[in-house]
């Protein structure tokens, strides 16, 4: 294609005036309207578009994520605030008649002990024993640190009140000595 000097001058003038742009002047690809309206559309070789996957797994071969089911559903006891899961409409209606509600009562605060108890019960017995032993050792270490910071006179008074002076401490399961025998 041969352009004469007049045509080149006209193109140069149009570019300078901003009436003719080569592509997008900002340097970005044009956003097609369906990219903003239907985020489920995947890119093709002719139509590149951003993908909006909620995870690293692509929904190409998976199920349609736009279809949802009503159950399982959470319900809360209106008096105690206990959370349960219902799996059918019949079960939901039965619990609603018993005083359960769809939203958690505002006055209910989650008990942190429930979460700790559930984690503890999920451990095998050997790990539970190790955890209990480690916790006891931590408490002993904290008590040692506190005792080491006490003044000598208060420490002596505390130790004197902790163990009676004339009586020897018995081991576990040992019977008490009879003083008459």
Residue 83: pLDDT band with limits 50, 70, 90: confident
Q: What is the pTM of this model?
A: 0.33
The per-residue pLDDT for range 23-38, each reduced to its tens digit, is: 555 556 565 555 556 6
The closest alpha carbon to 155, from 169, 167, 143, belongs to 143
| Six token digits for residue 36 | 């903003």
Domain residue extents for the chain: 73-103, 113-158
For residue 57, give every residue at least 6 positions away whose Cβ sits within 8 Å of its Cβ, in sequence order, or none.
none
The per-residue pLDDT for range 46-73, each reduced to its tens digit, is: 777 666 656 655 555 566 666 778 889 9
């Amino acid at each position: 294609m041969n352009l004469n000097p007049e045509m080149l001058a006209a193109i140069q003038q149009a570019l300078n005036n901003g009436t003719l742009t080569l592509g997008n002047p900002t340097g970005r690809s044009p956003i097609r309207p369906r990219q903003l309206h239907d985020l489920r559309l995947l890119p093709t070789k002719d139509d590149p578009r951003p993908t909006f996957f909620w995870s690293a797994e692509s929904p190409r071969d998976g199920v349609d994520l736009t279809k949802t089911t009503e159950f399982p559903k959470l319900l809360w006891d209106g008096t105690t605030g206990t959370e349960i899961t219902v799996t059918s409409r019949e079960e939901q209606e039965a619990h609603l008649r018993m005083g359960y509600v769809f939203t958690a009562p505002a006055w209910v605060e989650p008990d942190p002990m429930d979460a700790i108890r559930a984690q503890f019960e999920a451990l095998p017995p050997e790990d539970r024993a190790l955890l209990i032993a480690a916790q006891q050792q931590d408490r002993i270490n904290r008590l040692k640190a506190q005792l080491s910071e006490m003044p000598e006179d208060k420490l002596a008074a505390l130790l004197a009140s902790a163990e009676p002076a004339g009586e020897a401490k018995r081991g576990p399961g040992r019977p008490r000595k009879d003083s008459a025998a």
